[in-house]
Structure 1
Amino acid sequence: MYSLNNPLSKMSKRPKLTPLPPSTPPNPQTLHRLKPPKWAPLNLSQSELSLPLTFPTGQTFRWKQTAPLQYTGTLGPHLISLKHHQDGGVYYHIHHSPSDSAAKSALLDFLNVRISLAELWGTFSSSDSRFAELAKYFAGARVLRQDPVECLVQFLCSSNNNIGRITKMVDFVSGLGTYLGEVEGFEFHEFPSLERLAMVTEVELRKAGFGYRAKYITGTVDALQSKPGGGAEWLMSLRKLELQEAIDALCTLPGVGPKVAACIALFSLDQHHAIPVDTHVWKIATRYLLPELAGARLTPKLCSRVAEAFVSKYGEYAGWAQTLLFIAELPSQKAILPSNSCTIKEKNSAKRKSREA
């Protein structure tokens, strides 16, 4: 999904991102109009939504950690914070919105609340002892349902990149949208429309440090602008297609290959069995699902075989299972596991090797 390289290790050697002036300059009076904190329960337990296992793990790069166990972001014109209460339950606060009811509706849709993690993970765990063991420590790792335009632009920025740099690029693009307010020192903007993005040139993006990704973003925006009915509507229509049809359609856009298309399909287009295959997912697959391919070089044909293996193992929500397995491999999340913990399959493998010796 993205590089696991240390995002800070090479930042000093890369060009800095110099943001363009936001389309609507921050107005100090706007800050005073933000609503004072009034938290309301979302009626989601921590096992259904863990904020630290959902937001900073590569699905979206627009939500900021604004306090311990608290994340803030925008959904259209709504500026919202989420946090875990002492009981582990999830609470929300609407900082800015033209309609609180519309904001809550957008939030519930974004969080995919109609899908029960407990039911999904019960099904996965019953057929996979390794998943069952990891689920003890990674409860609440939920797949988000993002706006397709936002998701597409974010993953165009993710190509051969690390989390820190992707975040800076996404912040640059987000800063072109309407200013909504400030929370704990972070400024938040509504994601810019395709019409606003069309005003940004490749030269400006290159000056901001986007490199070769600049032409992909401007090219994709132009391609979307030419779609009958508009690019946003065209992207939304892909939710109604079969997975391969949606991926093929996305791959007609500049800079979108099969992996980026699978990310967009999984995280914004309701394609729950989409499997974004990169080198990290390849390692997971060859370690646990396709051990006979260990040592082979990842090719487009083998990418398809990996995706098929995940779907064969986990079914129509295979993308959700793969997301948890991916998160469990992140260095920042491995610390959650006990130091003496190893999976049942690994234990059995060790026993076999011991007997063979």
Structure 2
Amino acid sequence: MKRPKAPSPPPQSTPPMLRRDLSITKQLRPISKIARNILQSSPQPLPTSTNPIAWTPLNISKSELYLPLTFPTGQTFRWKQTGPLQYTGAIGPHLISLKQLEDDGVGYFLHFTEDEDKARLDLFDFLNMGISLNELWKGFKVCDERFAQLAGFLEGARVLKQEPLECLVQFICSSNNNIQRITKMVDFISRKGKFLGCVGGFDFFEFPKLDSLVSVSETELREAGFGYRAKYIVGTMAALQSKPGGGVEWLDSLRNLDLQGAIDGLSSLPGVGPKVAACIALFSLDQHHAIPVDTHVWQIATRYLVPELAGTRLTPKICSRVSDAFVSKYGRYAGWAQTLLFIAELPSQKAILPSSFWE
């Protein structure tokens, strides 16, 4: 069912930065003007047992980025916790660690890269640092009292911007699956790429190119425990190869479409349904009001946004109504608001929130 275009946020709940121009591209501050302020001096030499990591600070506060609420919450399955409040992963051909520092800022370290300047810019892009989380949340707090209460406990939960091919494969693996098995599957596929290094006992790889993924057989994937997802991955890689300009270019081009166009394009691939398509759109294609509707998000919506839908079945029509309810409430960055509400429902976060939230 075609979803209507996302409405603009209500004027009274829209941060001043966003009211000036509701064009998504104009809401993003230019990378070239911010990177010099956020990404500071060059990284230090590789650490050893006698020369530990010397972190290069990002000019960013905990309220803009808190790593434990960003990495282990289901957006990506390729980053590993390699130390206390430290996470490591590959961004393209760069192997990078991030750490929450004692002053509540964030530091980074480049373990491996062939181009330090490019690595820092790619890190900036990956962290979606062209978007001010504080500015977005000001608007969300005005239009939603519950969001304002949760934000005080869960600040710094950002939405990442991953490479579309990498994000696509991860979320095909996530279908009807748990985090442990998803991570194992994604690790298996990652090993088809270039080895970048070992940190904290984990091996890290550049995500494989499409040509490498096309050569992986369904039999190989099934033997590795992918089950029925094996045929979807093989079928999707073949489908991407046949796309105009090549699969990677075609995926990138979905950023230029409206949300429904991007969802329709992704849904044409084997194994990609509306929920998986919405995850890919939100976490890699700049579709900031995409809402991945599953049972958990539907339950959040029926408790706080559309209580009249409680007790209904989660049909495509109901999914559309749930998604529209989030967009009507939070506007063009509704996916970022939904991400925080989803994180608040995770058992690890419920345990630290006051009981009054759940009464």
TM range (shorter): 0.7 to 0.9
| Aligned-partner Cα distance in 2 for 1:342–1:193 | 45
| Aligned-partner Cα distance in 2 for 1:298–1:271 | 23
| Partner residue, 1:190 | 206
What secondary structure, in the 3-state scheme, does the structure 2 residue paired with 1:260 have? helix
| Partner residue, 2:348 | 332
| Structure 1 counterpart of 2:180, from 142, 164, 174 | 164
Q: How far apart are residue 44 of structure 1 and its match?
A: 1.2
Q: How far apart are residue 143 of structure 1 and its match?
A: 0.2
| Partner residue, 1:29 | none
| 2:46 alignment partner AA | K
What secondary structure, in the 3-state scheme, does the structure 2 residue paired with 1:57 have? coil
| Aligned-partner Cα distance in 1 for 2:89–2:291 | 26
| Aligned-partner Cα distance in 2 for 1:245–1:218 | 24
| Structure 1 counterpart of 2:303, from 287, 290, 298 | 287
| Partner residue, 1:353 | none
| Aligned-partner Cα distance in 2 for 1:155–1:79 | 22
Structure 2 residues without counterparts, runs of 5 or longer: 1-44, 48-52
| Aligned-partner Cα distance in 1 for 2:143–2:107 | 33
Q: Sequence identity, in percent?
A: 72
What secondary structure, in the 3-state scheme, does the structure 1 residue paired with 2:320 have? helix
Q: How many residues align?
A: 310
Q: Spell out, residue by residue over 1:233-281, the C-alpha distance to the aligned partner (whole angstroms, 9 max, x if none).
A: 1000100100000000000000000000000000000000000000000
| Aligned-partner Cα distance in 1 for 2:283–2:80 | 18
Q: Spell out, residue by residue over 1:166-216, the C-alpha distance to the aligned partner (whole angstroms, 9 max, x if none).
A: 000001011111100000110000000010011110000000000000000
Residue 283 (structure 2) pairs with residue 267 (structure 1): yes
What secondary structure, in the 3-state scheme, does the structure 1 residue paired with 2:90 have? strand
| Partner residue, 1:108 | 124
Q: How large is the RMSD of aligned CA atoms in angstroms?
A: 1.0
| Structure 1 counterpart of 2:318, from 288, 302, 322 | 302
Structure 1 residues without counterparts, runs of 5 or longer: 1-33, 347-357
Q: How far apart are residue 106 of structure 1 and its match?
A: 0.4
| Structure 2 counterpart of 1:219, from 235, 239, 248 | 235
TM-score (norm 1): 0.86
| Partner residue, 1:239 | 255
| Aligned-partner Cα distance in 1 for 2:191–2:218 | 17
| Partner residue, 1:73 | 89
TM-score (norm 2): 0.85
| Structure 1 counterpart of 2:164, from 142, 148, 155 | 148
| Aligned-partner Cα distance in 2 for 1:75–1:117 | 21
| Aligned-partner Cα distance in 2 for 1:336–1:142 | 19
Q: Spell out, residue by residue over 1:122-142, the C-alpha distance to the aligned partner (whole angstroms, 9 max, x if none).
A: 100011000000000110000
| Aligned-partner Cα distance in 1 for 2:232–2:54 | 41
| Aligned-partner Cα distance in 1 for 2:108–2:57 | 6
Q: How far apart are residue 324 of structure 1 and its match?
A: 0.3
Residue 359 (structure 2) pairs with residue 341 (structure 1): no
Paired residues for 1:251-266 under 5 Å = 251-266=267-282
| Partner residue, 2:73 | 57
| Aligned-partner Cα distance in 1 for 2:353–2:339 | 17
| Aligned-partner Cα distance in 1 for 2:352–2:230 | 37
| 2:86 alignment partner AA | Q
| 1:254 alignment partner AA | P
| Aligned-partner Cα distance in 2 for 1:212–1:172 | 16
| Aligned-partner Cα distance in 2 for 1:76–1:281 | 31
Q: How far apart are residue 342 of structure 1 and its match?
A: 2.2
| 2:206 alignment partner AA | E
Q: Spell out, residue by residue over 1:2-32, the C-alpha distance to the aligned partner (whole angstroms, 9 max, x if none).
A: xxxxxxxxxxxxxxxxxxxxxxxxxxxxxxx
| Aligned-partner Cα distance in 2 for 1:330–1:243 | 27
| Partner residue, 2:15 | none
| Partner residue, 2:35 | none
Q: How far apart are residue 227 of structure 1 and its match?
A: 1.2
What secondary structure, in the 3-state scheme, does the structure 2 residue paired with 1:82 have? strand
| Partner residue, 1:323 | 339
